[in-house]
Structures are given as structure tokens and as C-alpha cells.
């Protein structure tokens, strides 16, 4: 079968060997994304014994919500200021997860239309490690024997593959849920930049719309780290498409993480 496969995005942990292997096969014209779950776990190990470990991890989760590179850079500086007393950790964090491996924030993967973590693949790795290699480093001959057996078993397990859905079926019930949500949550909607970009929040947070707009349009913010984190958790940003035929293809930054959604226009 003559298949031309030229992936443009690589999502993995920070292992240099993965990048080198990918480059040797597919070339260097790709975006190297970093799985956020590995970032958090690595930082958690580094923070063992730190009395503020849990709150620092929560800060990292706020940083990960950054929907653009300017916002990521801004919130990193605010984080460094907030946690300045832990300079050893800050030095490690900046070197490892800002200078070397920075593409773990949501905007990096969102703009590529790919997930921000590789947990789906890791679930397969879990089976490989727990049922086949038993988490042991094998010699070459036992490894090949194990690999052939594993490939046979896993191929049989995946005969009936469930394909990914490429389109969304919008039901009447779904429209009803959306309609109810708008009215029950008493949302405020503010148009920004042009007719295809909107900010949405509950009415009680509508005072946050203007600072959020400054953040999106001008990358300006006079808040500290906690204030900025509060802001991006309370306001959602919706980007509509300029094509009525593709009205389902909408992007939105929703409190917890950006995602693709569908709306009725």
C-alpha cells in the first residue's frame, strides 16, 4: 500500500530520543508539542518536601490555560514574581519548561487542532508495560520475542476499530440544553475585535470583560498572578468562523481549557 504520511506535529514527553527518532524519519519541519501531564508530574517530583507544593501545582494548571504565546510569557513572569522565594525551583522550571520545552500550554496545541496531552497513547503504553514487558528492561532477543507476541495480540484486539467522528450531529435536545444554559446562567456577551470574536461570562462577572479584552487584544494586564488566574477562569472566549457552511467549526476558550465546539448562528 502506497501511503504518504507526513505528520506536522509531534506530541510526547520531553525525551530527546523521541524527537531525534521522529526527525530522522519525518524530517525537521514539524511542531514539537509537550504533554502537560508530564510537565506537572516532573514539577511535582521536584517539589517533594516543599510546603507549598500543592498550591504551586495549582499555579501550573493556571499557566497551562494560556491560550496564546503572549499570555503564556506574561503569566510566566507573574508566576516567577509570585514564587520568587523558591528560586531553585524557578531556575529549574524556567530552564526545563520555558526555555527548552515551552509548548505545553493550551494555545500551543489548540492552534494546531490537536490534544494538549498524549494520555490516549499512554493508555496503550500502560498495557505494554504492565502485560508484556512487566516494566523490565529486556535483553535484545527476549525483547524481540516479546514484541512479536505483543504485536500479534494487540492486532487481534484492535480488529474492530471505532473510527473518530469527523462531524457533529446537532440534535434538538442539544439546542434545548444550549438555550437553557444561556438563560439559567444569565450570561453577558461582549463582541471584541470583529464580528467573529466574543467574550462570554455570567452577569456577575461582567466587570471582568474589559480587562479580559485588553488581555486578548493588547496582551496588557495590570493584575498579579492570582488575579489573572481568576480572570481566565471566569471568562470564555468564542471564535466563530467566517463561513455559514462551516458554522460547527468554532473555537472557544472555556474557563478550564480551550476546545472546539459547535454553535447555532
Q: Which residues contact 154 (CB under 8 A, 6 or more apart)?
A: 124, 127
pLDDT at residue 258 greater than cutoff 60:
no
Supply the pLDDT for residue 252: 59
Strand intervals (E) in the chain: 9-12, 31-34, 187-192, 197-202, 236-239, 250-254, 257-261
Residues 149-203 have pLDDT tens digits of: 888 777 666 556 666 566 667 778 877 887 787 777 677 777 665 666 778 888 8
Q: Per mean pLDDT, which range of 136-140, 185-189, 261-265 is the poorest?
A: 261-265
Find, among 216, 256, 265, the residue nearest to 74 by Cα: 216
The secondary structure of residue 243, as a DSSP letter, is -
The pTM score is 0.76
End-to-end CA distance of the chain: 43
- Which tens digits make up the pLDDT trace of 101-110? 999 998 887 6
DSSP assignment letter at 261: E
Q: Which residue has the cell 520555558?
A: 98
Mean pLDDT across the chain: 80
Give mean pLDDT, residues 92-98. 97
* Count of CB atoms situated within 10 Å of the CB of 237: 21
pLDDT digits (tens, 9 = 90+) for 66-94: 888 888 999 999 999 999 999 999 999 99
C-alpha cell at 84: 520568587
CA distance 182 to 142: 60
Residue (of 231, 223, 265) closest to 246 by Cα position: 265
Q: Which three cell numbers stand for residue 127?
A: 498495557
Closest CA to 93 of 11, 14, 12: 14
Torsion of CA 107, 110, 114, 119, to 10 degrees: 50
Window from 61-70, 218-227, 243-252 with minimum mean pLDDT: 243-252
180 and 221 in contact (C-beta within 8 Å)?
no
pLDDT of residue 265: 35
Amino acid at each position: 500500500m502506497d501511503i504518504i504520511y507526513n505528520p506536522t506535529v509531534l506530541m510526547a514527553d520531553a525525551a530527546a530520543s523521541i524527537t531525534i527518532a521522529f526527525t530522522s524519519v519525518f524530517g525537521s519541519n514539524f511542531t514539537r508539542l509537550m504533554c502537560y501531564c508530564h510537565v506537572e508530574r516532573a514539577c511535582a517530583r521536584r517539589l517533594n518536601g516543599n510546603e507549598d507544593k500543592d498550591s504551586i501545582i495549582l499555579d501550573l494548571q493556571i499557566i497551562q490555560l494560556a491560550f496564546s504565546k503572549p499570555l503564556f510569557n506574561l503569566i510566566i513572569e507573574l508566576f516567577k514574581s509570585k514564587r520568587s522565594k523558591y528560586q531553585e525551583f524557578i531556575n529549574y522550571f524556567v530552564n526545563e519548561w520555558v526555555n527548552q520545552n515551552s509548548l505545553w500550554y493550551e494555545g500551543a496545541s489548540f492552534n494546531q487542532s490537536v490534544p494538549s496531552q498524549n494520555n490516549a497513547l499512554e493508555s496503550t503504553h500502560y498495557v505494554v508495560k504492565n502485560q508484556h514487558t512487566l516494566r523490565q528492561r529486556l535483553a535484545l532477543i527476549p525483547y524481540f520475542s516479546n514484541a512479536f507476541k505483543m504485536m500479534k495480540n494487540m492486532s487481534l484486539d484492535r480488529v474492530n476499530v471505532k473510527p473518530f467522528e469527523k462531524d457533529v450531529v446537532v440534535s434538538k435536545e442539544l439546542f434545548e440544553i444550549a438555550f437553557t444554559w444561556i438563560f439559567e446562567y444569565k450570561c453577558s456577551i461582549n463582541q471584541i475585535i470583529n464580528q467573529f470574536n466574543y467574550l462570554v461570562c455570567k452577569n456577575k462577572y461582567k466587570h471582568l470583560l474589559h480587562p479580559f479584552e485588553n488581555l486578548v487584544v493588547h496582551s496588557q494586564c495590570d493584575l498579579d498572578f492570582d488575579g489573572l488566574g481568576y480572570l481566565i477562569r471566569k471568562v470564555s472566549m468564542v471564535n466563530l468562523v467566517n463561513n455559514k457552511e462551516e458554522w460547527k467549526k468554532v473555537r472557544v476558550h472555556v474557563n478550564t481549557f480551550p476546545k472546539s465546539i459547535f454553535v447555532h448562528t
